[in-house]
Amino acid sequence: MLSLKLPRLLSIHQVPKGYQEQGILFGYRPPRSSAADCLLSVFQMTNETLNIWTHFVPAWYFVWTLVGWLRGPGGREDPHAWPLLAYLLTCCIYPLASSCAHTFSTMSTRARHICYFFDYAALSMYSLGEDICRGLGPQRFPLNHREALGTGLKDFCKP
């Protein structure tokens, strides 16, 4: 049987200052972890576990929702749906980038900065997607499109 050894967790006094978070005393993953260690730590209760999973699961929900919209009637051919589709795309990108940032941020100090740069860039993209949806969304949707949004998604784009 395959046996996987999970990385040992550290306390705040065992990690460099750049990796320490205020108020978090233990559960740190070792700095300079390998990519495999980072992936294995996703299944271990660390100080990042909730951040990783609470971003990863919604990302795939929004991917599923976006694919459903793209495959559905009208889909990408309907220009009235484009603001909502742009918003849904950013709803996929932001939590996925955040989950990756929290997963791989312990590989090195440089990797930490790069990961969180992409995390913040994705957050900015999400903000842009929301602005597009608010600016071009419901007031431009024809009535039949609002009825087609009966899944509750019509509330996503309120001015």
Task: Return the HEC string of 8-57.
Answer: CCEEHHHCCHHHCCCCCCEEECCCCCCHHHHHHHHHCCCCCHHHHHHHHH
The response to whether 145 counts as a known ligand-binding position is no
- In the block, residue with structure tokens 């309907």: 78
The DSSP element (H or E) to which 88 belongs, if any, is helix 82-104
Annotated binding site: 102
Annotated binding site for Zn(2+): 102
